[in-house]
A and B are shown apart, each in its own frame.
Chain A
Amino acid sequence: AQTVTQSQPEMSVQEAETVTLSCTYDTSENNYYLFWYKQPPSRQMILVIRQEAYKQQNATENRFSVNFQKAAKSFSLKISDSQLGDTAMYFCAFMRGGSQGNLIFGKGTKLSVKP
């Protein structure tokens, strides 16, 4: 069975600074996908970034980038130039290749961006 672990229940960062959220996972699969989702107080789960396991290059989306270490089964999210609107719960999620909708989530990290 796959598991996803987020070891930081809460993090805070000053506006305009950089913060890194950690995620580790456990799987015996070779084909899988990893995601970071953001859940603001409105509760809607918003996709931040996605990484295919077969790609060595780390995914980036504007201010968001990941450090994907496949051998170490680590998938951290770096947020650069943090903004107040980044304040939210962040969830790391795993999906087995070929799975249509079964995401396995970590428990989340609550990020607070301070002015």
Chain B
Amino acid sequence: ETGVTQSPTHLIKTRGQQVTLRCSSQSGHNTVSWYQQALGQGPQFIFQYYREEENGRGNFPPRFSGLQFPNYSSELNVNALELDDSALYLCASSFFIGTAGNTIYFGEGSWLTVV
């Protein structure tokens, strides 16, 4: 058990719709990041939040956005869904302590299918 939980586990959306995925981090973790994992690929970094502010983003368009809340929960929002957005979305949390590397813990993911 990593202490990172995600919801929903599976969902199906129609192209053009919007979706919100949720994540609850380990208590005390101040950093949350989101990854997209297409079938047969390694996870791709979407963005990360530190103390409720986005401070890093991968190569994803602005229709991917997020929020981090004081209670260690976070959201990933995707607008104007496209078929290629179909993937497993992984939430990961950690406690960042400066230049020392932090161990990152993952949730079980949310499977999104866009039809």
List A residues at the B interface (Cβ < 8 Å): 4, 31, 33, 37, 42-47, 50, 52, 91, 93, 95, 97-108
Number of interface residues of B (CB under 8 A): 33
Residue of A nearest to B102 (CB): A100
Residue of B nearest to A106 (CB): B42
Given A42-B108, A95-B101: A101 in contact with B56 (beta carbons within 8 A): yes
CB within 8 Å: A-B pair count: 77
User: Shortest Cβ distance from B81 into chain A, in angstroms?
Assistant: 21
Q: How many Å lie between the Cα of A42 and that of B96 in the bound state?
A: 27
Do B99 and A100 touch across chains, with their CB atoms under 8 A apart? no
Given A33-B101, A50-B103: A103 in contact with B45 (beta carbons within 8 A): yes
Do A101 and B42 touch across chains, with their CB atoms under 8 A apart? no
Query: Taking the complex as formed, is B88 at the interface, i.e. its CB lies under 8 A from any CB of chain A?
Result: yes
User: Shortest Cβ distance from B36 into chain A, in angstroms?
Assistant: 11
Do B103 and A47 touch across chains, with their CB atoms under 8 A apart? yes
